[in-house]
Amino acid sequence: MTAGTDEVLSFDEAMEKYDPVLGFEVHVELNTKTKMFSSAPNAFGDVPNTNVTPVDLGLPGVLPVVNGVAVESAIKIGLALNCSIAEKCYFARKNYFYPDTPKNFQTSQFEDPIAHDGFLDIELTDGTVFRVEIERAHMEEDAGKLTHMGGSTGRIQGAEFSLVDYNRAGVPLIEIVTKPIEGAGSRAPELAKAYVAAIREIVKNLGVSDARMERGNVRCDANVSLRPHGRETFGTRTETKNVNSLRAVEHAVRYEIQRHAAVLDTGTPILQETRHWHEDTRSTTSGRPKSDADDYRYFPEPDLVPVVTNEAWIEKLRAELPEPPAERRKRLQADWGYSDAEFRDVVNAGVMSSIEDTIAAGVSAAVARKWWMGEISRRAKLADVEPAELGVSPELIVELNALIESGKINDKLSRDVLDGVLAGEGTPAEVVEKRGLAVVSDDGPLLEAIDGALAAQPDVADKIRGGKVQAVGAIVGGVMKATRGQADAGRVRELILERLGVEG
């Protein structure tokens, strides 16, 4: 299948003529210890077909048993999405033959999802808030994983045979479905990304999912349709499957809008189908036709009894919910006194929680930001990891900062101390000791170095004597160089001016 052969209109042109309508189905894999309906471990990356019981393989005679923790996670997600929680809900069988589905039906929910009719307010980058209505969130089980062998593309086309790993089969999933999202206009791609990011953040914040998109913990199917401005009825939609990064969600929605516009411009109808997203070409290709009448022969799962909730249980779970991420951000920004731009940078750098922890450990908001947005972010970028993954603890920053404030070390030296600590050389104080990094505070050696620097740059010394105090920087630089940075620059400046008899 060749990718990217479709005609597309420019995004701006598409927007001039059409309104996009979006819809999302986001699958969240829960991080329960065991699977949705069996006692097999729910774990990623293990040897294929080891995390299975007879239930996960769909062997003759087996029966499912609902994972109570998964139900609680589903209720928490529902509450976080402002949904109503069903008093009684059922599982249903979705019947279709596919070898990654051991029973050839998926145990899911159909007419009675556990959570329904909620909403999520999405804040866009310019601060506008867009409300996305949630139709439902329901419980189901994941399928196994197929690996197609012998072909060049890794896809089923051209493969000689396929291998199946049932470790993932039966992993608890919550599918979150939006109502049609109208009125986003040219913000549609941005909204798409922000919506999926918000879902990811919420489930991570709830602690119910590891929320790692690269592992498929959060997977998005993005529905897009266009209609000419002013028309009420929806156009025909396409569903781009398994768009598995935030950037891809944004790009896929943008691409489909442009492709739809080009097709509609030629007067041809859009084919209702699934689309595959290709990261390399940043385009979609045709999947399989999908009609609203796809017949999965749903019927109530007779092997399971209904899930019955009650007010007390729901309220207990509601009381346990952590602060919603959006509210938390508002509170933290106010507490810390960061500007909008500063705070956005902090959020985008993924260091908000680290800063929160560091402040809690005992430094000012400004100091915490300096460290996390400065030195630690720089190192993370070099190492190509998340800042939080560098192993810098809030306590370490507190200690480093205390050393700086006491004048023992300066900012530049603190980086060497950090090196030493991360290299396992001990506590910051120990590293200072071992590496001999303390600021030279004895004036004797400093004066010696100052005299040397003045002698080396007599013209500068003259300028300073003549009143050009700002020229002192060059001498300070010379002294710092001579002391390998181990001098307190402020003190050096004072001493130079004193030496030359000039008022600072």
Partner 1 sequence: MADLIHLSADALAQKLAAKEVSAVEATQAYLDRIDAVDGAINAFLHVNTEEALLVAAEVDKARADGDALHPLAGVPIAVKDLIVTRGQPTTAGSKILEGWQSPYDATVVKKLRAAKMPILGKTNLDEFAMGSSTEHSAYGPTRNPWDLDRIPGGSGGGSAAAVAAFEAPLALGTDTGGSIRQPGAVTGTVGVKPTYGGVSRYGAIAMASSLDQIGPVSRTVLDSALLHEVIGGHDPHDSTSLTDPVGALVEAARLGQVEGMRIGVIKELQGEGYQAGVLTRFHESLDLLRSAGAEIVEVSCPNFRYALEAYYLIMPSEASSNLAKYDGVRFGLRVVPDGAPTIERVMGATRAAGFGDEVKRRIILGTYALSAGYYDAYYGSAQKVRTLIQRDFAAAFEQADVLISPTAPTTAFKLGEKLDDPLAMYLNDVATIPANMAGVPGLSLPGGLADEDGLPVGIQLLAPARQDARLYRVGAVLESLLEESWGGPLLAKAPAIPGIAGGK
- Residues forming contacts to partner 1 in the complex (CB under 8 A) are 54, 57-66, 93, 95, 97, 99, 102-105, 162, 164, 293, 295, 297-299, 302-305
Q: How far is the CB of 60 from partner 1 (least distance, A)?
A: 5
71/211 with CB nearer partner 1: 71
Backbone angles phi, psi at 259, to 5 degrees: -70, -45
44/298 with CB nearer partner 1: 298
- Paired with 141 in beta bridges are 172
Tell me the DSSP string of 302-355: TTSPPEE--HHHHHHHHHHPPPPHHHHHHHHHHHHT--HHHHHHHHHTT-HHHH
E runs forming strands in 142-291 = 145-149, 161-165, 172-178, 218-228, 238-243, 273-278, 283-289
Q: Which of 221, 219, 134 is nearest to 178 (CA)?
A: 134
Map residue 440 onto helix, strand or coil: strand
Q: How far is the CB of 46 from partner 1 (least distance, A)?
A: 19
Taking phi first (over 0 means left), then psi (-120 to 50 degrees means alpha), and beta for anything else, what does residue 220 get?
Answer: beta
55/196 with CB nearer partner 1: 55
d(C-alpha 102, C-alpha 448), whole Å: 81
Q: Label each residue of 393-415 as H, E or C.
A: CHHHHHHHHHHHHCCCCCHHHHH
Q: Which of 143, 56, 63 is nearest to 106 (CA)?
A: 143
In this structure, the number of other CB atoms found within 10 A of the CB of residue 467 comes to 10
168/260 with CB nearer partner 1: 168
46/294 with CB nearer partner 1: 294
66/213 with CB nearer partner 1: 66
Q: How far is the CB of 299 from partner 1 (least distance, A)?
A: 6
Backbone angles phi, psi at 447, to 5 degrees: -65, -35
97/470 with CB nearer partner 1: 97
Q: How far is the CB of 168 from partner 1 (least distance, A)?
A: 15
96/207 with CB nearer partner 1: 96
The answer to whether 383 and 390 are in contact (CB under 8 A) is: yes
- Distance, C-alpha 92 to centroid of its chain: 32
Q: How far is the CB of 70 from partner 1 (least distance, A)?
A: 14
Q: How far is the CB of 111 from partner 1 (least distance, A)?
A: 11
Q: How far is the CB of 41 from partner 1 (least distance, A)?
A: 18
What is the maximal distance between C-alpha atoms in the chain? 98
141/201 with CB nearer partner 1: 141
- DSSP state at residue 53: -
* Amino acid sitting at position 376: I
Radius of gyration of the chain, Cα coordinates, nearest whole angstrom: 30
Q: How far is the CB of 327 from partner 1 (least distance, A)?
A: 38
First to last CA, the chain: 74
In this structure, the number of other CB atoms found within 10 A of the CB of residue 404 comes to 17
Vertex 55 angle, CA 49 and 60, to 5°:
110
Map residue 239 onto helix, strand or coil: strand
63/455 with CB nearer partner 1: 63
72/399 with CB nearer partner 1: 72
49/84 with CB nearer partner 1: 49
Q: How far is the CB of 65 from partner 1 (least distance, A)?
A: 5
Q: How far is the CB of 156 from partner 1 (least distance, A)?
A: 9
Taking phi first (over 0 means left), then psi (-120 to 50 degrees means alpha), and beta for anything else, what does residue 398 get?
Answer: alpha
d(C-alpha 92, C-alpha 107), whole Å: 6
Map residue 2 onto helix, strand or coil: coil
Q: How far is the CB of 166 from partner 1 (least distance, A)?
A: 8
295/459 with CB nearer partner 1: 295
Name, in order, each residue with C-beta under 8 angstroms of 60's C-beta and a sequence gap of 6 or more. Answer: none
The answer to whether 184 and 36 are in contact (CB under 8 A) is: no
The answer to whether 184 and 254 are in contact (CB under 8 A) is: no
